[in-house]
Structure 1
Amino acid sequence: MRIGEISRKTYETDIKVKIDLDGRGKYNIDTGIGFFNHMLCMIAKHGIMNMDIYAKGDLDVDFHHTVEDVGICIGKSIKRALGDKGGIRRYGTFFIPMDESLSMCSVDLSGRPFLVFQGELKNSKVGEMDTELIEEFFRALAFNAEMTLHIKVFYGKNTHHIIESVFKSFAHALREAVSIDEKIEGSLSTKGMI
């Protein structure tokens, strides 16, 4: 079983995350931020992984600490679940249309953390959540999972649709990258390890 679990408590947040990469898309998610919960459910459902996420944060200040720290914990959980990364496809790229919007996500579980995020989010908020936190979330996740992550929004008008297409494309790209290929012996790297 490829399961990663982490608890992280700071003066700003108290977070518990459990991810089963070989799950069935089941989830229990409560971050206190409605729109963020909705997007995290997309990762579980479309990534076909089980996710339990509980986060209590200083939402009276703003949502930044909670969103970033959830990203940290998801990233660390993915890294733990992957172990030595033996047999994984390593790479995943996926395009998702969501009505008028189109986004692409490309993942390399390289051990080298990097984020490229290109795209315009039309509105500064969706629900009560600042849309600038979307990039912060993916940066925290990518750096703590030690993945190279490229996200590109090609076009779109509705900010909810754009962000949803980003999260769904990430979920599908991650699913592809973590999947096992029986032809791969050890790590998919000429170095002998990832």
Structure 2
Amino acid sequence: MASIMRPSLLRQSQTASQRVYSTFARQPSPLTQHLRPAFAPVPSTRIAAFHATQRQAILPALPQKITGTLNEPTVVPDPTPAHGSYHWSFERLVSAGLIPLTVAPFAAGSLNPVMDATLCALLVVHSHIGFEACIIDYFPKRRVPNLYKASMWALRLGTITLGVALYSFETNDIGVTELIAKLWNA
């Protein structure tokens, strides 16, 4: 039974039935038989086993907008330090700072609330920067300005909500590192 389900057997049976049907349905003309070399195979359609859908585009293209004419120069934005190398350096500093802050409370054995609060703040900043980069990449301000603006406001709201929730968890409950330590030992 399992040998029947092999894709190669399904293809062979399908092409064999097509050959039988094609011999009865249409006979090639003598001219095409004469022009085709004897070693050339009979053209047949390729069959993929277990595929029921056609190939379709994943997403439609975003709306296109052309500004200016061919002879106008491209507008170059003014350079700002917030979007240049300082921004990149700040991202790397936050990412590198997370490594010792995640290991230190458990390696040293002390659960300090200041270290816990610093870890939570850096996690919030790190996630905000990452999601902001995704929004900038996938929803360009120039092409979809309304979706870009809505996404940025949703990100800001989510970041503030996460910050308030972590602050409340740090001050009114056991804190993130203590929770991880208890879960680890459970």
Query: Shared topology, TM-score over 0.5?
Result: no
TM-score, normalised to structure 1's length? 0.27
Relative contact order, CA 8 A, sep 6+: which one is greater?
1
More strand by share: 1
The structure with the larger Rg is: 2
TM-score, normalised to structure 2's length? 0.27
More helix by share: 2
